[in-house]
Amino acid sequence: MATFDTKNITKIHQALHSHLPSDSALRVKALESLLVEKGLVNSETIDAWVEAYSEEIGPKRGAKIIAKAWLDPSYKQRLLEDATAAITEFDYHGHATAHLKAVENTSSVHNLVVCTLCSCYPFSILGVAPNWYKTAAYRSRAVREPRSVLLEFGVTLDDKVKVQVWDSTAELRYLVIPQRPQDTEGWNEEQLAALVTRNSMIGTDRDLNSNRGEA
């Protein structure tokens, strides 16, 4: 006769549900299906916009800003003084970057960005926010134990390096200027931009590999 193991059934139930999309994702998908069904939008247009934000609008936009800052000290100074104004030189602006502050990594300082309340993020220059950025675990642990979080991303810091955590809000968002890799003298803006990762502009990536951007 078959037996009913309550604990085992509970584990199976939890495992199955762990692979389901979040409630918000399901609601978005349901809304998308309804709009497509009624002929108000088409799925190809939605896919194109998602691809544009994830691949073109950002983080490539942010990478261009960083590359210019690495090449042009006067631009980097403008970016540090008033990032919102500085990015308009690229015609990059929008609600998500209306109040933007740039912070710079150095040999003695590492910056990490989080949004403890929700997931405020400068998507107009960094693209779609990564899923981990929106999780409760990252939002709480990045503040309490930033070095441990960074280690999980593969970022090992010397004890002498100070970690500064910046909490984004709807009114103020942050952009990390990573350190320019060594051995990149003479590189052009396009080569340098190829080195910049989305995570480095959030602060969960630090040592950029100069080999990736070589022509």
Active-site residues, by number, are 115, 118-120
Q: What pairing do the DSSP bridges indicate for beta strands 100-104 and 109-114? A: unpaired
Alpha helices per DSSP H over the chain: 6-18, 23-37, 43-51, 60-71, 73-81, 83-87, 123-126, 136-144, 146-152, 189-193, 198-202
Q: How far does CA 159 lie from the centroid of its chain? A: 25
> Which amino acid, residue 211?
N
DSSP 8-state assignment for residue 56: I
- Count of alpha carbons within 13 Å of 108, Cβ hemisphere only? 0
Work out the number of other CB atoms within 10 angstroms of the CB of residue 51. Answer: 12
Q: How far apart are the C-alpha atoms of 184 and 113, rounded to whole Å?
A: 26
Q: How far apart are the C-alpha atoms of 129 and 62, rounded to whole Å?
A: 13
CA angle in degrees (0–180, nearest 5) for 63-209-146: 75
